[in-house]
């Protein structure tokens, strides 16, 4: 869950094992791949807390987020996903939100909600990166060190 990372400091302080940050690992991935401007789709909590926006700004990565109307739709998509009620209309509307990012010259879109991969694993015009996969790959790298 990306939104949970608002508590990453508290989580790290509470345990004696390394805890990787999905936000930090996503930033590292984007920088490594020279992706300088990204579209972010996520929960409203992630947007409200500026989890990615703050990290991107600190690392000189440009970003775009859905407008307020689109973000309200995102909440509906995510609720439908977690309750097993997703449908093709949700997928089509998410594709339209991502299509709007193409007009804003983003290099890629970051799925900053672990449930969104179920709606749109790929897009014909933009690369889509799932933060959950980025974190999983980083976890494997960490284990193999």
Over range 128-143, report the average pLDDT: 95
Between residues 85 and 123, the one the model is more confident about? 85
- Cross-strand bridge partners of residue 112: 42
The whole-number pLDDT of residue 116 equals 84
Question: Considering the entire predicted model, what is its pTM?
Answer: 0.89
* Confidence at 10, pLDDT banded by 50, 70, 90: very high
User: Using an 8 Å Cβ cutoff, are 76 and 90 in contact?
Assistant: yes
Residue ranges covered by each domain of the chain: 19-144
Is pLDDT of 21 > 90? Answer: yes
* Confidence at 129, pLDDT banded by 50, 70, 90: very high
Domain covering 19-144 assigned CATH 3.40.50.1860 in the classification: yes
């Amino acid at each position: 869950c990306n939104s949970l990372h608002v508590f990453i400091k508290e989580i790290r302080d509470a345990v004696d094992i390394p805890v990787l940050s999905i936000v930090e690992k996503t930033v590292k991935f984007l920088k490594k791949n020279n992706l300088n401007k990204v579209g972010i789709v996520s929960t409203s909590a992630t947007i409200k807390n500026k989890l990615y926006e703050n990290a991107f700004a600190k690392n000189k990565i440009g970003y775009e987020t859905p407008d307020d109307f689109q973000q309200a739709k995102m909440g509906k998509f995510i609720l439908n996903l977690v309750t097993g009620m997703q449908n093709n209309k949700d997928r089509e509307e998410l594709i339209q939100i991502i299509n709007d990012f193409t007009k804003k010259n983003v290099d890629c879109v970051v799925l900053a909600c672990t449930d969104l991969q179920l709606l749109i694993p790929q897009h014909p015009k933009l690369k889509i990166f799932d933060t959950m996969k980025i974190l999983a790959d980083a976890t494997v790298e960490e284990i193999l060190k």
